Chain A
Amino acid sequence: MSGAPPDGASPGTPEEAAAAAAEEVVRGTGGTHHTGVLSGIGRRIGRRLLSSLPAILGVVVLTFLLMRVLPGDPAVFFASGPSAGQEEIEALRRDLGLDKPIPVQLLRYLGDVATGNLGRSLTTGQPVVTDLRQRLPASLELTLCALLIALSLAVPLGILAALRPGSPVDHAVRFVCTLGVCVPTFVSGLLLIYVFYYLLGWAPDPTGRIDIFAATPPDITGFLLVDFAITGNWEGWWSAAMQLLLPACTMALFVLAPLARMTRASMLAVLGSDFVRTARSVGLPRWRVVVVYALRNALLPVLTIAGIVFSTMLGANVLVEKVFSWPGVASYALDALLSSDYAPVQGFVLLMASIFVLVNLLVDILYGIADPRVSME
């Protein structure tokens, strides 16, 4: 063996000197490490935003094509009414640029989207952007609450099941999950209404976000729970929360399964991994092995699944909002779709695409913070 090393075990160094040296180490490398991570995350955000541009662009083009291949002539819809003459329609066609070749129309459409002009809804008579802005908080509030409920149930259940595989707890969790994923949201929602509204009378009338007799909420953020809390109107807050509870639970039930299953599977895999065995072999306390070594690693795949689950929920919104007459963007788009009013549908799809890009970005950043292996590449 070459070169006698400074033997760490022998306490030859004065205490202070060692402590000072260590402090320097911790501060020095810790600092560079920290900035390294931060700049890594910055680069990642930039790269991710850049790489999501094609996706957004793709969706824009898709919605454009959607508009073009849709049955019917947009000019006819935009015309004053069914009695509109041929000339008026022709004029409108020119006005809308529909007489131009498709690429030119596409460019025009891209320009419109870039300037925030998504057209006007025939049903409400308002610009689509205004409608979406008014209704988005309702959908987001519902989806986020559902995700929160689902996560706070699924993660502990998954961990419990993984810590005792094959136990009654494990089987019970699997049973609930299997059932949850089999019942479509529109059925479970209706059955919840039947039980909690009709039979038990615990839940309020399942229409809308607030009791029709309650005071109108202040319009600050659009999130009722937040707005009521800001104004200190706890009675209103309670009524809004009760209205929210059933639809949120309906949605949560549907996504419980993938989250709990993933938590269980990744927790099991990590508990059986070599590094957990290492942690046990050096005599770490059990809670530390489970929480610091196993759980932190096991949550990484759950994070990815949570992103996918969130976008599944955005889709499931359409069904849940219809069942509970929830005044969100999805029911808005659905009403428009069924009455052949296509601009809101386009706007809705674009909005969903943007939200999904943002969510993916968020998941990515969180992943970059949690997993040092990712920020390297």
Chain B
Amino acid sequence: MSATAYGTPSTLRHVGWVLRGNPLTALAAAGAALLLFVGVAAPWLVPYDPIASDVAIALQPPSAAHWFGTDQLGRDILSRIMMATRLDLAIAASAVGISFLAGAVIGAVCGYRGGRLDRTVGRVVDVLMAFPLFVLAMAMVAALGNRVENIVIATAVINLPFYIRFARAEVNVRRNAGWVEAARAAGDSHLSVVLRFLLPNILPAMAVQISLNLGWAILNAAGLSFIGLGVTAPTPEWGIMVAEGARFITSGKWWLVAFPGLALMLSVLCFNLLGDGLRDILDPRMRT
């Protein structure tokens, strides 16, 4: 009752204050919202059928009819980019969701328990993190099969160590804090301390990490499909579109690569800037 009753107006005001003082974050938030909207509403928004090919108008530069030009099969690039938003966001979001849930819990438990379990997990995580992760993702997709859900799993797995390490470090600095011991003195079990006290406390910091990781996951998924893993050809996807356009870059057909590349870049940029902005908003010390 009390926390929310007292907290909400000041939080909203604080968010407003931070956004006003930091227009870049506001812009990033708007961009992320736009991405989400396009992802959901793409089928109703696209000007052309993203799959239908028409060789007669293949490889046309941007024009009034086709804002982003057409590709080698005469498909409208703008429509394909919009349709791809849905798939790319879905892959990134589900991968980050899985690794966040698993990583936060594993990391929090390790950080709180300490001891041998913590050392072992910490060691494994260190090894995983230093390993060329893209290679690991490649190998996993190859092993599990060339399907979209395996791209999600591979991306989730290579993100996992970051969450574990992050949650572990955040919990570790708090495990001996007075308020954690106070919770135990007030009758909370270890489990309840982790779930009700430590996890909510590290959530803001994790939110920053989630936002940054979303960008990273998009890059990863696009990279995998660029090299021909995961999503297969006619499906509109940013990575594949770049891969298909690559053949025409040396003959000067830049729009095949540039526009899906721009979509990738802007979406990653949005999430990165949003992450940086979130860090400011969620830091309670900055409230007055």
Contacts and interface: CB of A to CB of B under 8 A. Distances in A.
**Chain A–chain B contact at Cβ < 8 A:** yes
Interface string B108-143: 000000000000000100010111111110110011
Contact of B134 (A63, A71, A316): A316
A194 B249 contact: yes
Interface stretch (B193-201, B223-231, B280-288): B223-231
A187 B265 contact: yes
Contact of B265 (A71, A183, A312, A330): A183
A352 B137 CA distance: 13
A181 interface: yes
Interface string B243-287: 101100111101001101100111011001100000000000000
A315 B260 CA distance: 22
A65 B143 CA distance: 9
Nearest to B215: A182
Interface stretch (A92-100, A270-278, A317-325, A365-373): A317-325
Contacts of A307: 130
Nearest to A355: B132
B227 A70 contact: no
B207 interface: no
Interface in B207-243: 215, 219, 222-223, 226-229, 239, 242-243
B219 A184 contact: yes
Contacts, number: 135
A228 B53 CA distance: 49
A337 B250 contact: no
B145 interface: yes
A179 B251 CA distance: 26
A377 B265 CA distance: 44
Interface residues of A, number: 54
Nearest to B141: A337
Given A182-B272, A315-B132, A352-B132, A71 B145 contact: yes
Contact of A182 (B144, B239, B242, B265): B265
Contacts of A312: 132-134
Interface string A232-271: 0000000000000000000000000000000000000000
Given A194-B252, A194-B257, A186 B242 contact: yes
A70 B143 CA distance: 5
Interface residues of B, number: 45
> Dominant SS at the B interface?
helix
A376 B221 CA distance: 43
A202 interface: no
Contact of B135 (A51, A65, A185, A352): A352
A205 B269 CA distance: 31
A293 interface: no
Contacts of A184: 219, 222-223, 226, 242, 261, 264-265, 268
A312 B137 CA distance: 12
B249 to A, nearest CB: 5
Contacts of A318: 134-135, 138, 223, 227
Contacts of B139: 62-63, 66, 345, 349
26 contacts: A69-B143, A178-B273, A181-B268, A185-B223, A186-B246, A190-B242, A190-B245, A190-B257, A198-B249, A198-B250, A205-B250, A206-B250, A307-B130, A308-B129, A308-B130, A311-B131, A311-B132, A314-B135, A319-B227, A322-B226, A330-B135, A333-B138, A337-B229, A338-B227, A348-B135, A349-B136
Interface of B: 123, 127, 129-136, 138-139, 142-145, 215, 219, 222-223, 226-229, 239, 242-243, 245-246, 249-252, 254, 257-258, 260-261, 264-266, 268-269, 272-273
Per CB-CB distance, the 4 closest pairs between chain A and chain B, nearest first, are A315-B134, A187-B261, A315-B132, A314-B132
